[in-house]
Structure 1
Amino acid sequence: MIPDLSPDRIDRLRDAFLSADYHADGVMELLGSQAHAALGRGEPQPALRATADAGSLGTLVRLFLLGEAESTAAVEKALHPLSLDEATAAGLLVGGGKTVHAGLDVRPHAAAERSWWVISDLDSDLRPASTPVGTDHVLGVGHASMSLVRATSRRRVDSLLDLGTGCGVQALHASTHAQRITATDVSRRALALAAATLRLNRIDAELLEGEWFEPIAGRRFDQVVCNPPFVVGPARTDFVYRDSGLEGDDASATVVGHLPSFLNEGGTGQLLASWVHRRGEDWQERVTGWLPSEDVDAWFVQRDVADPALYVGTWLRDAGYDPRSPSGRKKASAWLDWFDAHDVEGVGFGFVTLRRTGGARGEVVCEDLRHAFDDPLGPESDAWLQRVDWLRSRDSAEALLGSRLVTASSTVLEQVSSLGEDGWSEFVNRLHRTDGPGWQHEIDELGVRLVAGCHGALPVGDLVELLAAAHGEDPAELARAAVPMLRELVRHGMLHPAEWSESER
């Protein structure tokens, strides 16, 4: 069923929210930091206490954020000028008589110094007991969608495509940097909720219905973002938001393989993706095999690998199934049988950044970044592509050695020593980058000295010759050993070209 969220109804809902201060700042001020944090942990009681006698704002918080039944009189007052009958007809409310429940999830969403509202379906924890989510369930703002938000470049672009928009959260964030937004989805329900979300926030976007890239055939964009239905398993569509109907990791492969052809030259794409780890197969070879041509820069970042049992249990709970129930056990058994039949020993998850190079041979890098770090990958993806461009312009050893490099201020050296008969002796020298993804590189003693000498005053080749002379090394051999190390350190932002300004670093 498609909710009747007409523009007129959404406009009056917006008026009600503004009148009640039902926005991110208003909710935070009402709840306070402790109750707000407890609510984020799934602990409603502090928020219930904080909203007592809080008027219309308290009613809206309990109704939409806590899933409480509220009196019809209080809800009618809180939603004015949207009538109770129209809110019910729109699917925003369910029930009748003396109390009503929320029929949709409508909540403030704060990011990028902005406060928006997002309309989606109720998650399983806010739905009435024993009511499973529907096949066309539309997710709200979750961990996956926010991880893509943090991994997306925010450079200014003219045109952006949100492929598989769902409730429209990626399009919301795109409005901060994109002049024109196109959003697609195969689900009519998702498009209806996305249209309501965008209308509620006064954001214009072109909304198109269809599978994958079909609605925008023949068009190109400066940027594409995509949170696809990437769940790995047998070919099925239990839930449109997560199941593609394709087998295994074919959904991720489809997006990676087709996305570059919908980019303008120099355009970028960012997406979440999953890939299987099969016995005897290198996951890096698997994902790079999805790329359609050589004129694509690609950065595959693996953030996690789940074993099959953990993976199945996680996604069963996500859909509201109890893994101990008969239905849950049946689904788990069929899912695990599929993993066994296809020699799957794990499922990788991460981010993919793509760029159409316009004819130049692309740089393709796969990296395992399963360690914890806080900095978002969006700015880092921009910087990574910039550094790839610089390295491509100095593709020969001579060109690189003729460059002047500067060691980044965020690069620190860790030295590990072991105790022997003659005292402590260093056996590990490790460079750390203290911001971004927190890369680490082990280097030898001469590498430490070379990096320490990178102040931008001399070409790095001159520094190599000075080191060779001081330590009795062959300068040609030392240069050959230094070049791949220098390229990796530049690629990871530990060394920068001297000509770049501080803001470019």
Structure 2
Amino acid sequence: MNGFLPELTADVCDRLRAAFERARYDADGVVELLGGQAHAALGRGEPELADRATRDAGHLGTLVRLFLLGGTEPDTAVRAALDPLPLEQAVAAGLLRTDGGAVRAGLDVRPHGDESGSWWVVSDLDSDHLGGPVPEDHVLGVGHASLSLIRATSRRPVGSLLDLGTGNGVQALHASRHARHITGTDVSERALRLAAATFRLNKVDVELRRGEWFAPVARRRFDQIVCNPPFVVGPPRVDYVYRDSGLAGDDASALVVRQLPAFLTDGGVGHVLASWLHVRGEDWTDRVTRWLPGGTDAWFVQRDIADPGLYVGTWLRDAGIDPRSPEGRAQSAAWLDWFAGARVEGIGFGFVTLRRLPEGAGAPTVVCEDLRQAYDDPLGGEAAAWLDRVAWLREHGADLLDTAFRVPDSVLLERVDEPGDEGWATTIRRLHRTEGPGWQHEVDEPVTALLAGCRGLLPLSDLLDLLSVAHGQDRAELERAALPVIRELVRHGMLVPAREENR
């Protein structure tokens, strides 16, 4: 355990903010100082270029070396850079550490921004800066998982939002752009201390509560819930609070998905990062759909499947443990033995979007799919649009034949032709949505012909009549084959109702 609990009071945070603002220690200021190449190298864990860029950069250079590079700075330079925050007050709060006339960071405080501005996030120093494994109650910085959830969260205005397992508070910072009231919870007292410092430093008002899972907000409901839980799967133990739940396997992800909808208002939406086991003889989609309560729309998007051996090594290194060390070997053995005993062949990772349906709203939509192609755009906007599209299908599903559809301009038809005795023959017809997640669907010749007529003018029933006559196919058979494809294309934004599009 870290033992000492830092206490960045309102006075400390006010003075620290003033120092940061004066030095331009913010997202834009740091990028401008370092330049693109040095900033990218720093993100890869290569600090030398960044160090060179800061040498003649005054107070900003001192702060970058201190907090971002993990360097040791003279106390006179730090005093000047932190003014009006006295060095002694910063040390007492746990922000800095001193050794003679040298000063090092005691906490990680770094700029983090979005398209609208910049914040500062307070967390614990990582294993590189500590020079060894992190303590059990380590509070993680803004890592890849945090950024993934940020990008996968829809940003439509809401009245209330719950950040379940707030950690350093970064999800709540982003929520402050679109939520009127934010509640953050965490089981870790240390995490709540650092999150409170993050919020004070940025003048963001967040209600903080301590406790396990949903217990701190019992009998309350929220318009939106975001959760980056301790989703690392393996034996039921807690080596590190930020990654381990104490539950076996993927039970932590299952618990959140199972319980979250009960804490949503009608129509409320949840976004969760989750992991699930790929067990021999079991389809992962069957596994995750069993987690769902009734009356819940759910979209499971699998972004990656990790080999168990690679998975174990990755998380050991993340905690600062060398897999070759005796400790690393012992932990690897126990972890891999557990995977083998549970017949685990892989570990899936991805995003879960949930919506609580009002009573009487109809049957929920549950979709599990892979999105493992290269995709860098935020998924949050697509998640919100997916919920809109499945709601439209629920309301208009019986009227599809009376609806005029249109293929958006962003959807292209790709053909793969092979040479034959009678010339080129088309063997693959593939629809490709060129924006967003880049969905692709293989279609047959009748569906290709049907979609060619989807120009927003004729209802689907008329197009099926024409297709039946032109191809000499049974009209009822065409309808049975076409409607499931139409629904799937609508869900993926590759076919849009003409009247809805023109609103």
TM interval, shorter chain, is: over 0.9
Q: Distance in 2 between matches of 1:159 and 1:249?
A: 28
Q: Which residue in 1 is equivalent to 2:401? A: 401
Look up the SS of the partner of 2:449 in the other structure.
Answer: helix
- The letter of the residue matching 1:57 is L
Match of 1:9 among 8, 12, 16: 12
Deviations 1:134-173 (A, max 9, x none): 1110011110000000000000000000000000000000
The structural deviation recorded for 1:83 is: 0.8
Question: Helix, strand or coil for the counterpart of 1:409?
Answer: coil
| Residue of structure 2 in register with 1:497 after alignment | 497
Distance between the aligned counterparts of 2:226 and 2:148, measured in 1? 12
Q: Give the counterpart of 1:112 among 112, 115, 122.
A: 115
Structure 1 position 112, deviation (Å): 2.9
Q: Could you say which residue in structure 2 is the equivalent of 1:371? A: 373
Cα distance in 1 between the residues matched to 2:391 and 2:25: 46
**How far did residue 394 of structure 1 move?**
2.4
The whole-number CA distance in structure 1 between the counterparts of 2:383 and 2:30 is 33
d(CA) in 1 for partners of 2:59 and 2:115? 27
Aligned to 1:47: 50
**In 2, distance between residues paired with 1:501 and 1:479?**
24
Instruction: State the AA in 1 paired with 2:81.
Output: A
Q: Which residue of 2 aligns with 1:436?
A: 436
1:421-460 correspondence runs (5 A): 421-460=421-460
Say if 2:36 is the partner of 1:33.
yes
Of residues 229-238 and 492-501 in structure 1, the stretch that sits farther from structure 2 once superposed is: 492-501
Aligned to 2:249: 248
Counterpart in the other structure of 1:188: 189
Question: 1:73 Cα deviation (Å)?
Answer: 0.6
User: Cα deviation per residue 1:230-261 (whole Å; 9 max; x = unaligned)?
Assistant: 00000011000000011110000000000000
Counterparts of 1:355 and 1:292 in 2: how far apart (Å)?
11
Q: What's the C-alpha RMSD, in Å, of the aligned pairs?
A: 1.0
Shift of 1:461: 1.1
Per the TM alignment, residue 95 of structure 1 is displaced from its structure 2 partner at its CA by: 2.5
Counterpart position of 1:382:
384
Match of 1:470 in 2: 470
Alignment-mate amino acid for residue 208 of structure 1:
R
Q: Which amino acid aligns with 1:309?
A: G
Q: Which residue of 2 aligns with 1:318?
A: 318
Q: Does 1:22 align with 2:35?
A: no
Distance across 2 between alignment mates of 1:219 and 1:89: 38
Once the 2 structures are TM-superposed, how far is the Cα of residue 89 of structure 1 from its aligned partner?
A: 1.0
Q: Is the 8 A contact 1:265 1:358 kept in 2?
A: yes
Q: Which amino acid in 2 is paired with 1:222?
A: D
**1:418-464 deviations in Å (ceiling 9; x for gaps):** 11122211111000111111111111111111111111111011111
Count of residue pairs the alignment pairs up: 498
TM-superposed CA distance for 1:41, in Å, is: 1.6
Matched, 1:487 2:487: yes
Structure 2 unaligned blocks of 5 or more: none
| Cα shift at 1:113 | 2.2
1:91 aligns with 2:94: yes
Q: Which residue of structure 2 aligns with residue 140 of structure 1? A: 141
**Secondary structure, in 3 states, of the residue corresponding to 1:393?**
helix
Deviation string, structure 1 residues 397-435 (Cα, Å, up to 9, x no partner): xx2111111101111000001111222111110001111
CA distance in structure 1 between the aligned counterparts of 2:69 and 2:420, rounded to whole angstroms: 62
Secondary structure in structure 1 of the residue aligned to 2:194: helix
In 2, the alpha carbon distance for the partners of 1:132 and 1:75 equals 27
d(CA) in 2 for partners of 1:126 and 1:96?
16
Alignment of 1:15-414 (within 5 A): 15-127=18-130, 129=131, 131-293=132-294, 295-359=295-359, 360=361, 361-396=363-398, 399-414=399-414
Deviation at 1:322, TM superposition (A): 0.4
Which amino acid counterpart does residue 144 of structure 2 have in structure 1? Answer: H
1:456 partner SS:
strand
1:375, 1:435 within 8 Å by CA — same for their partners in 2? Answer: no
SS at match of 2:301: strand
Which digits, 9 at most, give the CA deviation of each residue in 1:461-490, with x for residues without a partner?
Answer: 111111111111111111111111101110
Aligned-partner Cα distance in 2 for 1:368–1:43: 33
* 3-state secondary structure, aligned to 1:32: helix
How far apart are the structure 2 equivalents of 1:112 and 1:182? 23
Given residue 100 of structure 1, which amino acid in structure 2 is its aligned partner?
A: V
Q: For structure 1, which runs of at least 5 residues remain unmatched after alignment? A: none
Runs of 4+ in 1 over 3 A off after TM superposition: none
The answer to whether the 8 A contact 1:237-1:244 is kept is yes
TM-score, normalised relative to structure 1: 0.97
Kindly provide the amino acid, as one letter, of the partner of residue 39 in structure 1: L
What residue identity is the alignment partner of 1:122? L
Q: How far apart are the structure 2 equivalents of 1:296 and 1:379?
A: 19
Q: Supply the distance in 1 between the matched residues of 2:271 and 2:436 (Cα, whole angstroms).
A: 17
Give the whole-Å Cα distance in 2 for the aligned partners of 1:222 and 1:491: 23
| Alignment partners' CA distance in 1, 2:463 and 2:401 | 9
Q: Distance in 1 between matches of 2:441 and 2:315?
A: 35
Distance 1:43 1:331 in 2: 28
- Secondary structure (helix, strand or coil) at the match of 1:276 reads strand
Q: Residue 72 of structure 1 contacts residue 96 of structure 1 at CA under 8 Å; is this kept in 2?
A: no
